[in-house]
């Protein structure tokens, strides 16, 4: 599939914000994220249901939330679409997403965590390159981490290949090798929830990035085991693990185990290289990764290299 690259974000452009999953925990956080964007000279257009809360874990009905997705892609004034936050609920929208609207109006689409389901589905249906990373109500509130901030804006605006991802501490090698492929993946538990559905793209030959938050080691073990068993015929070319953001104060009765031990056992995910410690996931300092572009992972240098520009 030929990737569908969105246009680069223009200076003082318009950013649309939607809530395709959970409602805002604290509305002031969204306000601060908007203030940050406006302070940089961008105009912000809120989705009609971006502030909705139907009294549950969803930011409005499925029809409301998918309506905001369609409206933002159709709106000629909107240059980029940012998901306010994650949570849960994006996968509920997939049967009703009109992919022809997206295909006719390719735009920058940013989010991570629960947004993984929308991003993988849009790659499967349209080949749209999307961006797994910083969100207004999460990362742009109390001071955007400087390293994350610089890379975030560069990946959305640069029409040049992005090159090596430089992080203070290099990833650790789990399995040696070198591979090239399309960068795909996202949140592990969300990705696994798509396995066996028509919305899950093949990972064959991909550089698969994986992260998660708040999951006990045995649950990460379960998810990786599921992924390994479900993808025996569609193995990725390489795997790069990001942050796991585990809760050290968990009251789980299951004995704790170092997650790195599990990662070392799951070398059946790919015949290619595996690294852990990629600066990606539910932490303040993280890369915003363009899903769908070509990348190279080598354990010789422990570098993930983005070989293409993510915007045109």
Domains in the chain, CATH or no CATH each: 14-144 (3.40.50.10740), 163-306 (3.50.30.60)
Sort strands 163-164 and 294-298 into parallel, antiparallel or unpaired: unpaired
- The span from the CA of 274 to the CA of 144, in Å, is 29
Catalytic residue among 22, 67, 125, 211: 211
Q: Predicted confidence band at 64 (pLDDT cuts at 50, 70, 90)?
A: very high
As a whole number of angstroms, the distance between CA 274 and CA 240 comes to: 6
Please tell me the predicted confidence (pLDDT) of residue 99.
Answer: 97
Tell me whether residue 211 is one of the annotated catalytic residues: yes
Mean pLDDT, the chain, whole residue set: 96
Q: How confident is the model at residue 238 (pLDDT cuts 50, 70, 90)?
A: very high
Residue 33 has pLDDT above 90, yes or no: yes
What is the per-residue pLDDT across 70-99, written as a single tens digit (0 to 9) for each?
999 999 999 999 999 999 999 999 999 999
**Quick one: 113 exposed, middle or buried, by C-beta within 10 A (0-12, 13-18, 19+)?**
buried
The tokens 């592990």 sit on which residue?
Answer: 188
Q: What is the pLDDT of residues 243-278, one digit of tens each?
A: 999 986 656 667 789 999 999 999 999 999 999 999
pLDDT at 55: 80
Nearest to 181 by CA among 121, 232, 241, 236: 236
Q: In the structure, what pLDDT confidence band is assigned to residue 2 with cuts at 50, 70 and 90?
A: confident
Longest dimension (CA), the chain: 53
- Residue 289 Cα to chain centre, angstroms: 7
DSSP 157: H
pLDDT for the residue numbered 61: 96
R_g (Cα) of the chain, nearest Å: 18
pLDDT greater than 80 at residue 26: yes
To the query of whether residue 90 is one of the catalytic residues in this protein, the response is no
Catalytic residue among 19, 215, 276, 282: 282
**pLDDT attached to residue 102:** 98
* Percentage, residues of the chain above pLDDT 90: 93
Under 8 Å between Cβ of 304 and 238 = no
Contact 46/71 with Cβ under 8 angstroms?
A: no
Kindly give the pairing relationship between strand 14-18 and strand 163-164.
Answer: unpaired
pLDDT band at 232 (very low <50, low <70, confident <90, very high): confident
Choice between 132 and 1, residue whose per-residue pLDDT is larger: 132
Distance, C-alpha 241 to centroid of its chain: 13
The side-by-side arrangement of strands in the sheet containing 130-132 is 43-46, 14-18, 80-83, 108-111, 130-132, 289-291
Q: Under a CB-based contact definition with an 8 Å cutoff, are residues 65 and 20 in contact?
A: yes
pLDDT confidence of residue 253? 64
Pick the catalytic residue: 19, 22, 113, 125? 113
The question of whether 150 is a catalytic residue gets the answer no
Of 20, 145, 176, 148, the residue nearest 84 (C-alpha):
20
Q: What pLDDT is stored for residue 1 in this prediction?
A: 74
- Residue 41 pairs in a beta bridge with none
Of 113, 124, 126, nearest to 87 (Cα)? 113
């Amino acid at each position: 599939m030929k990737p569908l690259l969105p246009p680069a974000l223009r200076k003082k452009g318009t950013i649309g914000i939607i809530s395709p999953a959970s409602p805002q925990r604290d509305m002031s956080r969204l306000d601060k994220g908007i203030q940050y964007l406006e302070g940089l000279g961008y105009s912000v257009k809120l989705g009609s249901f971006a502030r909705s809360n139907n009294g549950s874990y969803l930011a409005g009905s499925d029809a409301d939330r998918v309506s905001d997705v369609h409206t933002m892609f159709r709106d000629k004034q909107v240059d980029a679409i940012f998901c306010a936050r994650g949570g849960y609920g994006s996968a509920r929208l997939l049967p009703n997403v009109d992919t022809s609207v997206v295909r006719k109006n390719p735009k920058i689409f940013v989010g991570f965590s629960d947004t993984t389901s929308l991003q993988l589905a849009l790659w499967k249906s349209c080949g749209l390159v999307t961006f797994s990373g910083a969100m207004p109500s999460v990362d742009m509130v109390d001071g955007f981490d400087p390293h994350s901030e610089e890379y975030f804006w560069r990946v959305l605006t640069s029409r040049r290949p992005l090159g090596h991802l430089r992080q203070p501490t290099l990833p650790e090698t789990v399995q040696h090798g070198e591979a090239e492929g399309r960068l795909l993946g996202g949140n592990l538990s969300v990705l696994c929830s798509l396995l066996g559905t028509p919305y899950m793209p093949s990972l064959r030959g991909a550089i698969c990035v994986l992260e998660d938050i708040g999951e006990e080691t045995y649950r990460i073990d379960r998810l990786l085991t599921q992924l390994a068993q479900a993808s025996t015929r569609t193995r990725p070319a390489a795997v790069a693990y990001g942050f796991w953001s585990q809760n050290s104060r968990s009251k789980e009765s299951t004995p704790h185990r170092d997650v790195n031990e599990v990662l070392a056992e799951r070398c059946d995910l790919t015949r290619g290289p595996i690294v852990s410690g990629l600066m990606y996931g539910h932490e303040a300092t993280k890369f915003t990764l363009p899903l769908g572009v070509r990348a190279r992972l080598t354990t010789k240098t422990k570098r993930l290299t983005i070989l293409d520009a993510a915007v045109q």
